[in-house]
Amino acid sequence: MTKTQIMKIIKDENIHFFRLQFVDINGFMKNVAIPRSQITKALDGKMMFDGSSIDGFARIHESDMYLVPDYNTFTILPWRNKEGVAAARIICDIHKSDGSPYQGCPRVNLKRVLAEAKKTGYVMNVGTEAEFFLFNLDDRGLPTTDTNDAAGYFSVDPEDTGINCRREIIETLERMGFEIEASHHEVARGQHEVNFKYADALTCADNTVTFKWVVKTIAKKHGLHATFMPKPIFGINGSGMHTNQSLFDQNGNNAFFDPEGPLQLSPIAYQYIAGITRHAREFAAVTNPLVNSYKRLVPGYEAPVYVAWSGSNRSALIRIPASRGVGTRVEVRCPDPSCNPYLAFAMMLNAGLAGIKDKLVPPPAVNANIFEMSANRMKRAKIQNMPGSLLEAMGELRKSPLAKETLGEHIFEKYLLVKEKEWDDFRTAVTDWERKAYLNIY
């Protein structure tokens, strides 16, 4: 899309308000709203903001930054049309005051990683499956963990009481240009999934943060709270963000597909799998970034706990979906929807590319249910565990040369600082569990 095309849409659709959006180091969407009179200035990348007020961004003495829009992300906001006056948004990269791209911007960093991958001959395509819960609000309008939904996996009306909200989410996304492939109720009560078509990695990261924003916005219209928290309720399934990924060569061919190869996978696919398994523990703190993330990664709830791969086994970290040809892909099952997709995609891509560069051989596929395997059997199969806590994952990230190279020094250091504070807050907090366990005894 061009600036001229955008200005025509603004005029034709009577757009009076414009949101300039970006994400911070945690993946939280931020924005500044501007009136119509400032749109030309914004489209020219001349809107400034204070970067020192954003988590993981600049220090106070170097805080002046520019919002540089990506014209291809322009879209009208369907829910913001009031009496014929519309609003739109555009996603921006962050640039420094000298006009150069800011290394602390997660989107800028992903673009750098993708450009380096392209030099090796590959383009990354990604499709995410971000699960979420819909919960009721209390009398004060605050979220609860209660739902009037008693449905289960693939339930139908009337059990699936969230279907009307989910339908409006889909309609809204389609009006914003998403191609929706499917939607359904998930395993846990109150849990849902909407699948949209894969795209190149940058577009998919943009789509993923937009999707989460739309889900939360439409849920609120229905008097509900949507959460992408990985494990909001003990004893039931948590929410994952299975990330389907593939590499295409410069001629548009899927580099993972080989009709003559084992499982019809190419040597490149096997090397990519080997890279993911080699570096999975190192990127866990990025793909699973919260204290709460590791309460999802426990046995018994379909979430992957073990570093293994399989052609079909859903207890493994990596699964190879049945589709072949252009649809040949690797599904990495550990990420959860609280992650920053710009950082997560960069980490998984470089992990896979490291496997290709070093011509790594993956461990043997594990087709048995790993949850039912004994410790000795797992040891013989050399199956490692994923980190069991954010603290353990941070330790793996901190000592990873791959992570430092992929995230860049600025994001790497700032990210660790943010996560260290989160862990310390958790470590020193007194929880309801502790009060129930100890208050009446000691």
Catalytic residue (one of 24, 149, 160, 193)? 193
User: Catalytic residue among 24, 93, 95, 131, which?
Assistant: 131
Catalytic residue chosen out of the listed positions 149, 258, 282, 331 = 331
CB contact set of 244 (below 8 Å; sequence gap of 6+): 126, 127, 128, 129, 198, 321, 329, 330, 331
Among residues 24, 186, 206, 336, which one is catalytic? 186
Q: Which residues pair with 131 in a beta bridge?
A: 193
Distances, alpha carbon 226 to alpha carbons 14, 144, 414, in Å? 30, 10, 28
Encode 267-303: b = buried (16+ Cβ within 10 Å), e = exposed. ebbbbbbbbbbbbbbbbbbbbbbbbbbbbbbeeebeb
Are 147 and 189 in contact by the 8 Å Cβ rule? The answer is yes
Known catalytic residue at 112: no
- Of 314, 324, 398, 410, which is the active-site residue? 314
Taking the C-alpha atoms of residue 72 and residue 177, their distance in angstroms, rounded to an integer, is 11
Note if 179 is an active site residue.
Answer: no
Q: In a 3-state reduction of DSSP, which class is residue 378?
A: helix
Q: For strand 316-319 and strand 224-227, is the pairing parallel, antiparallel, or unpaired? A: unpaired
Candidates 50, 55, 179, 424; catalytic one: 50
For residues 313 and 366, give the distance between their C-alpha atoms in angstroms, rounded to a whole number. Answer: 7
Place of tokens 């020192």: 52
Distance CA 191, CA 339 (A): 18
What CA–CA distances, in Å, run from 45 to 36, 71, 93, 182, 193?
15, 11, 9, 37, 36
* Active site annotation includes 186: yes
Respond yes or no: is residue 331 known to be catalytic.
yes
Which one of the listed residues 24, 95, 107, 129 is annotated catalytic? 129
Give yes or no for a contact between 89 and 69, defined as CB atoms under 8 angstroms apart: no
Strands (E), 207-353: 224-227, 241-248, 306-310, 316-319, 330-332
Q: Does residue 301 sit in helix, strand or coil? A: coil
**Dist CA 423 CA 417 (whole Å):** 10
- Catalytic residue flag (residue 13): no
Q: Which residue in 19, 185, 333, 396 is the catalytic one?
A: 333
- The DSSP output letter for 388 is S
Angle between helices 106-119 and 341-357 (to 10 degrees): 20
Residue 90 class from Cβ within 10 Å (0-12 exposed, 13-18 middle, 19+ buried)? buried
Which of 166, 189, 192, 242 is labelled catalytic? 242
Look up residue 408 and give its two tokens. 């860049």
Catalytic residues: 50, 129, 131, 186, 193, 242, 314, 331, 333
